[in-house]
Chain A
Amino acid sequence: MSLSTKFGDRRGALAAVVTVVLLVLGGGILARAATAPGPPPQPDSSQASAAAPTPATSDPAPAESTAPTAAPEAVVPASDFGTLMAPSAPVALRIPSIKVSTKGLVDLNLDDKGELEAPRDAQRAGWYVGGPTPGEFGPAVIAAHVDSSRIPAVFYNLGRLKKGAKAIVDRKDGTTATFVVDRVARYPKAKFPTAEVYGDTAGRAELRLITCGGEIDPRTGHYADNVVAYAHLVG
């Protein structure tokens, strides 16, 4: 009798301990899953094309408006490229509207297949060193992860970025390059528009912000799409 009581007590205590452990563990995981930010936001299709009546932001308007001469000036072959900056590597990126503020950008190169490598550290953004520095003529490229294998990363909210938002790049020489977002689009990686993203920017200093998007491809374990934000220099 006394034996069985002891045995029963022990079993009861063990059960209590197990209960507590399970509660803590289960509750913790559940809380994390419940409070987890969920899948990253994807760009709205309305953000994918530049606004039709492109406002002054997309054109180097000051150059035109300061010229008092009449409009039919098309004979002049010299093109004015508007605002451009001297080369200087980026050191920080701020996008206030989606609460991005990241310092210590890493250098990104091309891998053996000629593809742009991603930053090794999910909590750091990277700059493609083969391209222009942000502020120079051409498409400067900054890429960052949308998430790690556990938590959101630098560009988690990139898909939420809207046309007209500002992206501010601090540069090594102490100057700041401010860009305005023209559009945000999502592409299957298999149909990545290389020419659009990396091609000629017709004299403008532009910025490309790239991250992952869409669904996870079960075969590769990677996201199937890329989200790309296009922006141009305003000063």
Chain B
Amino acid sequence: MRTTIKLGTATLGSALLLTLGAGMAQAATSADGNTMAKLRPVALNGVDASGTAMVTVTGNRIDVTMAASGLLADSPHAAHIHFGAEARNECPTASDDKDGNGTLNTTEGGPAYGPIVVSLTKSGDTSPKSALAIDRFDTAPGGKISYERGSINVSSDVAAAISAGKSAVVVHGVDHNDNGKYDGETKSELDPKLPTEATDPAICGVLASAPSGGVQTGGGGTADNNQALGLALGGGLLLAAMGTGAFATRKVTNRI
């Protein structure tokens, strides 16, 4: 009797501990996550480029890896993570062309992806202050970006937004007139010293959360128990056949 009670208490205790432990683990990792963006051409801007960005969130730290190709070669490509609580949390569409000039500039994309929260510079500051630090962004040799930067610190809100799949990666720089460089009469709405080609969004992708957990990819038809059942059922029917067979044979024998 006493043993039973002791055992019960012990079980209850460990169950409590387990629950507590699970709760704590969850609290510590609530903002952690793996996210990925498929970078695709921004509507209207006609850039035949693509890529992938992967952002790993660990507490207030993010690690970023990004590959892209098809961009204007050997020219700086500002790249950022955008997020806005008021934004649509997506990449802009043709309907975002508010001035109706047939292309999308960075500001026109704002309602879709929100303001800049991280500048994906190669060195130094990564805050929104470095949004146009064109000397510190990847210059896409051969049109390709191979970008890796770890341990970027972000606010808890930004970390949570990225983990929740609400942020977007945007790579800027569009050679609208296909002459191999950033130029043109139209100046950037962000910095009048730059042509709009240097800052217009080229490729964009929402950083989506990775699937959670595993996949239900089995019907169980070939698992052990089914095979055993088949053997038993088949064998049983054969045994029954032996019985009725014997009966039929006896009848036939009787007649003769």
List chain A positions with a Cβ less than 8 A from chain B: 5, 8-9, 11-13, 15-16, 18-20, 22-23, 25-34, 36-40, 77-81, 84, 86-87, 110, 113-119, 122, 128, 130-132, 136-138, 141, 143-153, 155-156, 187, 189-190, 192, 194-195, 197-203, 210-213, 215-216, 221-223, 225-226
Across the interface, which residues of B come within 8 angstroms of A148, CB to CB? 219, 221
The residue that B212 contacts in the complex, of A113, A132, A210, A215, with Cβ under 8 A, is A113
B122 touches A77 (CB 8 A): yes
Nearest residue, chain A, Cβ from B34: A199
Decide yes or no whether B15 CB sits under 8 A from chain A: no
Known: A15-B248, A110-B211, A151-B222. A200 touches B230 (CB 8 A): no
Q: Residue of A at shortest CB range from B230?
A: A33
Say whether chain B's binding surface is mostly helix, strand, loop, or mixed.
Answer: mixed
* Docked-complex contact B52 and A136, CB < 8 angstroms: yes
Q: How far is the CB of B67 from chain A (nearest CB, A)?
A: 4
- Interface size of B in residues (CB-CB distance below 8 Å): 63
In the complex the two chains form, what is the Cα distance from A213 to B208 in whole Å?
27
Residue numbers in A under 8 Å from B254 (CB-CB): 8, 12
Q: Is the CB of A212 within 8 A of B215?
A: yes
Query: B210 at interface (Cβ–Cβ under 8 A)?
Result: yes
27 contacts between A and B (CB under 8 A): A11-B247, A15-B244, A19-B248, A26-B241, A30-B230, A30-B231, A30-B238, A33-B234, A34-B231, A36-B230, A84-B67, A113-B212, A116-B211, A130-B211, A145-B219, A146-B217, A147-B219, A149-B221, A150-B219, A152-B222, A195-B34, A199-B34, A201-B65, A210-B215, A211-B215, A211-B218, A212-B217
Report A75 CB to chain B, min CB distance, Å.
12
Kindly list chain A residues whose C-beta atoms are within 8 Å of the C-beta of B153: none
Set of chain B residues within 8 Å of A156, measured between Cβ atoms: 222
